[in-house]
Homo-oligomer: A and B are copies of this chain.
Amino acid sequence: MVVPTVYGSDGRHLYFHGSVASRSLVASPGAAVCVTVTHVDGLVLARSVFEHGVNYRSAMVYGVPRLVTDPEEKLAGLRRLTEQATPGQWDYARQPNRKELAATALLALSLEEASVKIRTGAPDDGDGPDAALGIWAGVLPLKPTWGAPEADPLLPAGIAPPPHITARGGA
C-alpha cells in the first residue's frame, strides 16, 4: 500500500502525520515502511526511444517509524511539517490546541537508512551512431509553479493574503 502524504524534516528524521484513527499510519506499530520523495526535473528526449528517460531526484528512506509521544517533539515536528509545505504559516495560522494534538498522530522516521538516485543532463546517445540521424535531442524541463492565491469564498472582504503567501504565489 502506498499513501501520499506531506512531510517535514529536521535533517535527522522525516516527520509525517495523520489521524489517530487512520489505519494506514498508526495501526501497524513496528511495521517497516519505505518513504519516497521524487522531484521530476524534465523529460530526456534522445535520438532513440530506447534512450529516453527522465531527469529526477529521488530519495527512499527505509525504517520502522516511531510514534512521537513527547509533547515538545510532537509540536516541533508538526511545526516542521507545516513550515516545509508553507514557510511562515505556522506562526500565522491558529496553532493546534490540546484536543487537536490528541487527535493527531505524528510519526518520526530516522534518515539513517536511505538511498538517493539522481539523473541530470542531456541524453546519452549524443556520441553514438544515432547522432547522425538528424533527430533533435535534449531536455524538456519541468518545474512546479505556484499560482495566484485563491481566497476561500467564505472569507469576509478585507482580509488580504499575508506576505509569505503572496511572495510565493504566481501573480
Q: How far is the CA of A42 from the CA of B90 in the complex (A)?
A: 17
Is A135 an interface residue, CB under 8 A from the partner? Answer: yes
Q: Which residue of B lies closest to A4 (CB)?
A: B38
Is A147 an interface residue, CB under 8 A from the partner? Answer: yes
Please name all residues of chain B whose beta carbon is closer than 8 Å to the beta carbon of A159 when the two chains form the complex: 134-136
Q: How far is the CA of A139 from the CA of B150 in the complex (A)?
A: 5
Q: Smallest distance from the beta carbon of A164 to chain B beta carbons, Å?
A: 10
7 A-B pairs with the lowest CB-CB distances in the bound complex, closest first: A126-B154, A141-B147, A2-B36, A122-B152, A145-B145, A50-B100, A138-B151
Query: What are 28 A-B pairs at a CB distance below 8 A?
Result: A1-B34, A4-B58, A6-B54, A42-B147, A43-B86, A45-B86, A48-B94, A49-B78, A49-B94, A49-B95, A50-B103, A50-B104, A52-B89, A94-B130, A127-B154, A131-B154, A135-B159, A136-B149, A136-B155, A136-B165, A137-B155, A138-B150, A138-B155, A140-B146, A140-B147, A140-B169, A141-B148, A142-B145
